[in-house]
Amino acid sequence: MQPDEALVRSWLQSAVEDAYEGERQLFQERAHERSVVFHIARRLATRVEAWACDANSAGWSVDVEYDRWHPGDVEWLKKRLRGLDGHDESDVYPDLILHRRSGSSAEHNLLVVEVKKEGARGREHDLEKLRGFVAHPFSYRLAAFITLSADGGEPLWHWIAD
């Protein structure tokens, strides 16, 4: 069983809010986005695991910087994600995903997320990457681009659905 899109959105939004509240120092000190993504992922995983237990639907995982698609062949992945030729490996993998590790079809790929700090470069690149992950062959149902406020204010959300 898959959680619906509204539930996934609410999980991610509340995970981001909780990370802002619980890890405020990271935002005030302008820590690297990887540090922030870790705390968002940890909180998202807690919500997913609670739902999976209640819904008797195990197998959903939250991962960061995940590279499962075609190990050892980043070029294969880059060619399938429009506009990513010429970028290195770290530019291809998404910041966070919610998926089933047991497969790579649409029913296994639920959410893909990119996070940027306000004012950081690469926004258009990350949006194009998210569009690529929503398209075939990855077919993620939902993508989110989150811009984190430099002063700890409300993040900006950009959602992309299949």
| Rounded distance between C-alpha atoms, residue 155 and residue 48, angstroms | 21
DSSP assigned state of 110:
E
The reported pLDDT for the residue numbered 98 is 97
Name the region of 5 (left: φ>0; alpha: ψ -120 to 50; beta: rest): alpha
Query: Total structural domains in the chain?
Result: 1
Q: What is the mean pLDDT of each run of 10 residues along the chain (162 residues)?
A: 94 96 85 93 97 87 81 57 58 90 86 93 89 87 93 90 84
Q: What is the pTM of this model?
A: 0.88
pLDDT score, position 73: 43
Show the domain range for 143.
Answer: 5-161
Query: Which residue stretches of 3-96 are H helix?
Result: 5-22, 24-28, 33-55, 74-80
